[in-house]
């Protein structure tokens, strides 16, 4: 989809004017409203949000009908948390990285610089005690959370000029979000928070020097290759980025047990389909960006990666000692699970990637 056609279809920039009528409950059917942090059908998260709405409706046997409202149709993307917590809508689709102003604990459930991969992130919640902490944190805001997808490894982003050293980052105006914002600020970057369409405009005007959004599939739909040609990997600031669904706690508790199970399974069962779609379509989009748009794929210098790792260590120490007992428990749980994966994954995933990169005839 061309950027102009996508933005027109998504209604980016339109003023929210739709009002939400009270939810209906007739003949056992609940009509739920999903508000999202994304333009409708944005490749990647916007597509995943619609998949989730459809899957909840299907797995509930039609007893919950979910209608999706894109960012700006009812509330702005950053307003979806409050809209659901206050009961204006029943559920939202977004990422935990957007809620750091409410509690730093949220940020660790989204992405962590030099932290967990997508499968490790899911493993922490399902096998490492993360889900209980996730539930506890969100319950304090009247929400029931579920992970429902992941973008996989994100990219370091689009740069108008090359970067060759840590010095090249100092003073650079850079769009990012979540814990990566704190890490990049410690490296002397001037961090900006904004949505993807606004990032395109800021890069085009020169208000930004660089920025990251997601990866090739989503980024190319926004046309970022038109305003910057240097595309840097690896995105160690977000080695994965979890997508979440959060449900108004009162609405969730009103559900019968089988409907609670349907909602839970709808979210959990989408995690891998969403991740594999991202990986596949990112790969296809990258081919096109390089072959048809002249994008230059470049590696982030190792000294920058090391500096980011050191900065993240400082951030974690601050979180751990910040006086919030729940945040401390979240940090410690995350670090325990990360260390377990650090010990094992060199023999597993890393070993396979190294083996695949050796010089032998395979095709």
Q: Would you list which residues are annotated within the binding site for substrate?
A: 154, 175, 212, 238
| Pairing relationship of beta strands 173-175 and 190-192 according to DSSP bridges | parallel
How far from 202 is each of 154, 193, 195, 197, CA to CA, in Å?
Answer: 20, 11, 10, 9
Which distant-in-sequence residues (6+ apart) come within 8 Å of 149 by Cβ? Answer: 45, 48, 52, 242, 243, 270, 271, 273, 274, 275
Gap between the Cα atoms of 302 and 165, Å rounded: 9
Which residues are part of a known binding site?
Answer: 154, 175, 212-213, 238
Which residues are part of a known binding site for Na(+)?
Answer: 213
* Residue 26 main-chain phi, psi, to 5 deg: -130, 130
Cis before residue 71, ω within 30 degrees of 0?
no
In 3D space, the residue among 135, 172, 144, 147 whose CA is nearest the CA of residue 157 turns out to be 172
In 3D space, the residue among 246, 249, 204 whose CA is nearest the CA of residue 225 turns out to be 204
Tokens 């991740």 found at: 275
């Amino acid at each position: 989809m061309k950027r102009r056609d996508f933005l027109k279809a998504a209604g980016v920039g339109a003023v929210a004017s739709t009002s939400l009528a009270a939810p209906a409950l007739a003949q056992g059917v609940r009509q739920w409203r999903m508000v999202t942090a994304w333009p409708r059908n944005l490749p990647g998260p916007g597509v995943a949000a619609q998949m989730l709405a459809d899957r909840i409706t299907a797995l509930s046997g039609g007893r919950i009908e979910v209608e999706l409202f894109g960012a700006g149709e009812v509330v702005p993307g950053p307003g979806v948390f409050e809209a659901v917590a206050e009961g204006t809508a029943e559920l939202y689709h977004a990422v935990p990285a957007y809620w750091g102003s409410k509690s730093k604990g949220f940020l660790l459930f989204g992405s962590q610089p030099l932290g967990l991969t997508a499968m490790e992130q899911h493993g922490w919640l399902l096998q490492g005690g993360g889900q209980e902490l996730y539930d506890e944190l969100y319950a304090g805001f009247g929400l029931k959370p579920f992970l429902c997808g992941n973008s996989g490894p994100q990219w370091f982003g689009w740069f108008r000029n090359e970067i060759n050293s840590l010095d090249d980052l100092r003073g650079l105006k850079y769009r990012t979000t979540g814990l990566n914002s704190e890490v990049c600020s410690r490296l002397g970057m001037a961090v900006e928070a904004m949505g993807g369409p606004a990032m395109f405009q800021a890069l085009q005007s020169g208000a930004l020097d660089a920025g990251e959004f997601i990866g090739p599939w989503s980024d190319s739909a926004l046309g970022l290759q038109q305003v910057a040609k240097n595309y840097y990997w690896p995105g160690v600031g977000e080695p994965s980025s979890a997508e979440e669904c959060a449900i108004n706690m009162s609405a969730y508790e009103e559900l019968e047990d089988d409907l609670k199970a349907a909602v839970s399974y709808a979210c959990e069962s989408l995690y891998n389909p969403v991740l594999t779609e991202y990986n596949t379509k990112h790969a296809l989009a990258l081919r096109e960006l390089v072959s048809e748009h002249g994008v230059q794929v470049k590696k982030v210098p190792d000294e920058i990666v090391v500096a980011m790792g050191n900065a993240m260590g400082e951030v974690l120490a601050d979180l751990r000692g910040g006086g919030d007992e729940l945040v401390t428990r979240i940090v410690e749980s995350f670090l325990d699970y990360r260390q377990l994966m650090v010990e094992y994954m060199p023999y597993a995933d890393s070993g396979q990637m190294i083996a695949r990169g050796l010089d032998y005839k395979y095709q």
